[in-house]
Every structure is written in C-alpha cells, then in structure tokens.
Amino acid sequence: MNVVISYDISEDKRRTKIHNILKSYGQWVQYSIFECQLNDTQYAKLRSRLHKLIKSDTDNIRFYSLCSCCFGKVERIGGEPVPDDTIFFAECAEG
C-alpha cells in the first residue's frame, strides 16, 4: 500500500512526536508530508499510534492512498534527491 501522509499539528511537542513516528514508517519528503510503502498491518498500527497522540479538535492528519502506478508517477521539482526505487508501468491496472 502506497500512502502519502500529511499533518497539521498545533503543538510543537506533539508535532515532533508524530514526525518521529512517521520517520520510522516512510520517507520524509516535505515539511509535513511523508511517503510510505506499508503493508496492511503496518498501516493499521501507524494509524492507531497517531490517533492516540492527536487532539481531534485542533490536529489534522490525512492519508492519501495511491495505486502503485500513480505512486511511481509522482513528479518532483527541486529539493534533495530521493532514492529512486520506482517501478514504471505502461498502464495503470489498479486505479
């Protein structure tokens, strides 16, 4: 499962904890955005860990699931190079 996760956390201490959890699951690509390749168990555990930390009235975490084809077609301009282990597909069969 390919997931892009973005977050907006109101408190610095909580934001740092969430950032550190996400670092152990995926690639930090922008200030509050991670790209993760997870199996179902990892995804469930990650969501549970994050849900326990947030304050639902002020914090916001979003999970965007992408098919393998779409995940492989992400374009990037600028910034530091990210390890390229993408597989390109001729046609997207998943989405």
Contact 56, 22 (CB under 8 A): no
Q: pLDDT tens digits, residue range 30-74? A: 999 999 999 999 999 999 999 999 999 999 999 999 988 888 788
Q: Structural domains in the chain?
A: 2-72 (3.30.70.240)
Cβ atoms of 27 and 82 closer than 8 Å = yes
Give the residue with greater pLDDT, 72 vs 29: 29
pTM of the entire structure?
0.79
Distances 53 to 14, 80, 92 between C-alpha atoms, Å: 7, 30, 36
- The residue among 89 and 35 whose pLDDT is bigger is 35
What span, in angstroms and rounded, lies between the C-alpha atoms of 46 and 24?
Answer: 10
Q: Which residues are annotated as a binding site for Mg(2+)?
A: 8
Q: Which residues fall in the annotated binding site? A: 8
